[in-house]
Amino acid sequence: MLARSARGLYWVGRYLERAQHGCRLLAEQLDALEDRPVGEIELNWRRVYTALGRAPLGGDLAFDLADDAFMLADAYTLVGDLALEAGNPDAIRNCLASARENARQVRNTLDRELWGCLNLAFLGIRDVGIEDIWKDRPGDFVRTAEDAVRTFWGVADSAMYRDESWHFLRLGRYVERTQLLAALIDAQLAVFPSHAHFAESDWLSLLRVCGANGAYGRLFSLQVRPPLVINFLVTDPHLPRSVRFGLAMIIDALDVVSLGEPLALEAGRRAGRTGARIDFDWPNLDLRDQSATRAMLHGIRESCRLLHDDIRAAYFAYEIEDTPGG
């Protein structure tokens, strides 16, 4: 397939994943606004902003722990920032707009329904303001946006021919997901001190963001233990929002598209090595000293970054050795 088309699809996958990640973080946060104590909400915001690598308002989050009204006013601004802010490239609306714009440019490689799904989702939120979404239940906004992404993948999964279009689309999706997950888990460790007196709810909410609370309960117990949660979200090969699962999907997609090209093989090897490190070297979380765990997480994030560069060099922007012309 045309290199530019592959790149477009890869970015559709990435932006949709980023949009969905934003939706899930916000949905969790909006839920917390209903009944959680202010202190917990503040920590949750820190986790969100640390995970996204974005500076919160005015440089720092400082809540007046005694005043709910201020807390809500802050939430109003923060939700606007993460959902709609034009200057925030990772805001949900911007991610959906970028996904749609990339899709528009490579529309001929996508099924009609897939384009329609993105176009409708974008047109539906193009002109809304934070006042609009706040007046009703703000959760509706993120649910609708996430539904659009889910519908897209549902249709893609059930209808797309499994050629390169499909593989580059999911390559983008899982490179993004793996990177975002590693960043989120790292932020969790940075923000919530996991000494003996951790709050269960902080870790439950992390499981919920990753859609892992149900499976965790069935597999382990209803009692939440940070080392188990972290292990689960990083190493479990059956959890769609785990780092290991994401890497497995990347390895699988690369395996199909590589065709023995040296550069492409390099990307596959990198993904494979990262997966193997998780399988064999993942340390159990030490509640007093998290440094080994966090170093591994940093390594995974760095691998994802390099993986992106590999894919780009192998498929989208490769060098042609002879000079063009005549």
Integer Cα distance of 7 and 9 in angstroms: 5
Residues of this chain, 127-156, that bind other proteins according to CB under 8 A = 127-128, 130-137, 140-141, 144
Indicate the length of the chain as a whole number.
Answer: 326
What's the closest the beta carbon of residue 289 comes to other proteins, in angstroms? 27
**Tokens 């990347």 correspond to what residue?**
250
Can you tell me the distance from the alpha carbon of 311 to that of 326, in angstroms, rounded to the nearest whole number? Answer: 30
Q: Least separation, in Å, of the C-beta of 90 and other proteins?
A: 6
Contact 29, 80 (CB under 8 A): no
In the list 35, 69, 196, 197, the residue contacting other proteins (rule: CB under 8 A) is 69
- Contact flag: residue 74 with other proteins (CB under 8 A): yes
Among 65, 120, 159, 219, binds other proteins (CB under 8 A): 120
Binding mask 153-182 for other proteins (x = CB under 8 A): -----------x---x-----------x--
Q: What is the DSSP string of 193-249?
A: --STT--HHHHHHHHHHTT-HHHHHHHS-SS--HHHHHHHHHH-TT-TTSHHHHHHH
Residues in contact with 78: Cβ distance below 8 Å, sequence separation at least 6, in sequence order: 45, 56, 57
Candidate segments 50-58, 221-229, 244-252, 275-283, binder of other proteins by CB under 8 A: 50-58
Closer to other proteins at the Cβ: 12 or 106?
106
Closest distance to other proteins from the beta carbon of 306 (Å) = 14
Output the CA–CA distances (angstroms, integers) from residue 266 to 115, 271, 303, 314, in the order listed.
32, 9, 12, 9
Pick the piece of the chain touching other proteins (CB under 8 A) from 24-32, 51-59, 185-193, 237-245.
51-59
By the 8 A CB rule, do 27 and 139 touch? yes
Q: Does 186 bind other proteins (CB under 8 A)?
A: no
Choice from 66, 108, 195, 223 touching other proteins (CB under 8 A): 108
- State the greatest distance between any 2 C-alpha atoms of the chain, in Å, as a whole number: 75
* Structure token digits, residue 134: 């706040």
- Binding segment toward other proteins, per CB under 8 A, in 85-93, 199-207, 229-237, 289-297: 85-93
Alpha carbon 127 to its chain centroid, in Å, reads: 25
Does residue 196 belong to the site contacting other proteins (CB under 8 A)? no
Residues that bind other proteins (CB under 8 A): 1-6, 52-58, 69, 72-74, 76-77, 81, 85, 87-90, 104-108, 112, 115-116, 119-120, 123-125, 127-128, 130-137, 140-141, 144, 164, 168, 180, 183, 257, 259, 261, 315-316, 318, 320, 322, 324-326
